[in-house]
């Protein structure tokens, strides 16, 4: 009896001891335990997916053959080391074509309720079609992409190993989505604090988080992705679009999907994880830095001016949401 208890204890402790140092475990392969009961939670483990499939998706994500003139990959506009976005007000597609909207990050996007600012793609698989065929993004067609990849024996072999099938649009979508689901950024100072490490946040960061809750930012930016789980109007307490002027189709938000008048100017609330890396901000790229984005949010979403110190503290808190970025070494050689 005693021996079997010991054996169980030994098994459990083996199971709990990673054979690599915990800092190198990225993305997480186990769910962290939050000691604190907060409206924000740590990022969960990445769901298990076959390594061959994830690798194929990573290759495709970095492959310029997905664009009409072999000039752009997904990574061109979603640079992982730069926070999964492109640092521009609006994206630049093939032939220098200017897009109409700011590129959101791909990091942690698998945790969002839907993809795109207006949520028009329900899944990551559905999302891939958009950039691939959009004339001012990759400007390609599925026939072209399948033809280009199918004459590459290395690609055909990778599809066969990962999906036991040929290069098809559905298989491309499956692989890219699988890779994107691994693009989580665990171990941010804020997550370490949630998990019980009191010293993980500075006092300014803790003050900023307290203000973030007191002011009501957390009513919209909440949960494990600090956003991404609901649609909200941009301009709840003041008319952002009237003040900015020059309304474009990209400003219509969810209305473009549902045609429902109450969805005009409603957007999927963006995740604030790694937000310090993805300026400029908002769907129109109008806020050049975090302090200006925070002040605009306070004014238009909460109807209150913020003291400079509050802005600084909240910015400090938002910077504590930067986690470990996924490595792209195996795809960028
Ligand atoms: C020319 C730049 C560009 C390229 C290339 C590009 N994207 Fe994007 N991506 C964008 C922009 C801009 C948006 C926002 C569009 C919108 O919301 O209407 C976006 C949105 C997304 C989103 C939604 C994220 C979210 O939180 O809503 C995902 C996921 C994504 N892209 C993945 C990809 C993949 C996969 C590829 C390659 C097949 C790709 N992108 C190629 C610019 C680009
Ligand atoms: C009523 C819901 C709501 C509240 C409250 C709210 N936000 Fe937002 N937030 C949004 C929406 C919606 C957007 C996207 C707006 C757009 O670009 O169209 C957004 C965007 C942002 C962005 C830009 C993110 C990016 O990647 O572009 C930041 C930063 C931000 N909010 C911070 C805050 C802070 C700080 C507070 C509190 C002072 C706050 N928000 C309160 C709904 C809200």
So where are the chain's domains?
A: 51-181, 189-319
Is the separation of the CB atoms in 103 and 147 below 8 Å? no
- Looking at the CA of 103, name the nearest ligand: 1
List the one residue out of 294, 298, 258 whose CA is nearest residue 276: 294
Q: What number does the ligand 2 atom closest to the CA of 105 have?
A: 26
Q: So what's the pLDDT on residue 30?
A: 85
Q: Which of 75, 78, 97 to mutate to test the pocket of ligand 1 (most atoms within 8 A of CB)?
A: 78
The tokens 């190198």 sit on which residue?
24
Q: So what's the pLDDT on residue 333?
A: 67
Distance, CA of 262 to CA of 258 (rounded, Å): 10
Is the separation of the CB atoms in 119 and 113 below 8 Å? yes
Distance, CA of 224 to CA of 34 (rounded, Å): 11
Distance, CA of 245 to CA of 102 (rounded, Å): 17
- Report CA dihedral (122, 124, 129, 134) to the nearest 10 degrees: 90
Provide CATH code, domain 189-319: 1.10.760.10
| Nearest-CA residue for atom 16 of ligand 2 | 282
- Looking at the CA of 118, name the nearest ligand: 1
| Alpha carbon separation from 127 to 139, 214, 215, 329 (Å, rounded) | 15, 35, 34, 25
Whether 276 is a known active-site residue: answer: no
- Report CA dihedral (306, 309, 314, 319) to the nearest 10 degrees: 140
Q: Which of 70, 90, 111, 130 to mutate to test the pocket of ligand 1 (most atoms within 8 A of CB)?
A: 130
| Alpha carbon separation from 267 to 68, 83, 246 (Å, rounded) | 30, 21, 18
Q: So what's the pLDDT on residue 18?
A: 38
- Ligand 2 neighbour 240 (Cβ under 6 A): no
- Ligand 2 neighbour 87 (Cβ under 6 A): no
- Token pair for residue 235? 């301009």
> Ligand 2 center to residue 220 CA distance, Å?
7
Q: So what's the pLDDT on residue 28?
A: 78
- Ligand 1 neighbour 225 (Cβ under 6 A): no
> Ligand 1 center to residue 332 CA distance, Å?
19
- Ligand 1 neighbour 77 (Cβ under 6 A): yes
- Ligand 2 neighbour 227 (Cβ under 6 A): no
Task: Write down the pTM of the prediction.
Answer: 0.93
Distance, CA of 40 to CA of 114 (rounded, Å): 19
Q: What number does the ligand 1 atom closest to the CA of 94 have?
A: 1
Distance, CA of 301 to CA of 164 (rounded, Å): 49
Exactly one of 137, 180, 308, 330 is catalytic; name it: 137
User: 9 in the Ramachandran plot: left (φ > 0), alpha (ψ -120 to 50) or beta?
Assistant: alpha
Provide CATH code, domain 51-181: 1.10.760.10
- Ligand 1 neighbour 72 (Cβ under 6 A): yes
- Looking at the CA of 305, name the nearest ligand: 2
Q: So what's the pLDDT on residue 263?
A: 97
Distance, CA of 193 to CA of 204 (rounded, Å): 14
Q: Which residues of the chain have pLDDT under 50?
A: 1-25
Is the separation of the CB atoms in 204 and 316 below 8 Å? yes
Task: Name, in order, each residue with C-beta under 8 angstroms of 193's C-beta and a sequence gap of 6 or more.
Answer: 36, 200, 201, 206, 320
Q: What number does the ligand 2 atom closest to the CA of 212 have?
A: 37
> Ligand 2 center to residue 256 CA distance, Å?
20
| Nearest-CA residue for atom 6 of ligand 2 | 217
- Ligand 2 neighbour 316 (Cβ under 6 A): no
Do 51-181 and 189-319 have matching folds?
yes
> Ligand 2 center to residue 233 CA distance, Å?
10
């Amino acid at each position: 009896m005693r021996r079997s208890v010991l054996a169980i204890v030994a098994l459990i402790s083996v199971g709990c001891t990673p054979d690599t140092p915990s800092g190198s475990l990225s993305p997480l392969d186990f769910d962290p335990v939050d000691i604190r009961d907060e409206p924000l939670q740590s990022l969960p483990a990445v769901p298990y997916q076959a390594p061959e499939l994830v690798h194929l998706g990573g290759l495709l994500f970095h492959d310029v053959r997905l664009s009409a003139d072999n000039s752009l990959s997904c990574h061109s506009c979603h640079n992982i080391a730069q926070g999964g976005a492109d640092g521009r007000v609006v994206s630049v597609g093939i032939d220098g074509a200017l897009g109409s909207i700011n590129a959101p990050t791909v990091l942690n996007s698998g945790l969002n309720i839907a993809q795109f600012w207006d949520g028009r793609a329900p899944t990551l698989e559905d999302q891939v079609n958009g950039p691939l065929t959009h004339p001012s993004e990759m400007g390609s067609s599925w026939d072209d992409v399948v033809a280009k990849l199918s004459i590459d024996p290395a690609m055909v072999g990778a599809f066969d190993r990962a999906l036991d099938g040929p290069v098809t649009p559905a298989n491309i979508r499956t692989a890219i989505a699988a890779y994107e689901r691994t693009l989580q950024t665990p171990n941010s100072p804020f997550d370490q604090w949630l998990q019980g490490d009191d010293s993980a946040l500075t006092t300014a960061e803790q003050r900023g988080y307290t203000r973030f809750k007191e002011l009501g930012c957390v009513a919209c930016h909440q949960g494990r992705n600090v956003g991404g789980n609901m649609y909200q109007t941009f301009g709840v307490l003041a008319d952002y679009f009237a003040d900015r002027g020059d309304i474009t189709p990209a400003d219509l938000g969810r209305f473009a999907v549902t045609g429902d008048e109450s969805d005009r100017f409603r957007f999927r609330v963006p995740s604030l994880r790694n937000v310090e890396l993805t300026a400029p901000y908002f769907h129109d790229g109008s806020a050049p830095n975090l302090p200006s984005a925070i002040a605009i949010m306070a004014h238009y979403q909460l109807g209150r001016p913020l003291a400079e110190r509050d802005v600084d503290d909240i910015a400090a808190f938002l910077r504590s949401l930067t986690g470990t970025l996924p490595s792209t070494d195996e795809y960028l050689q």
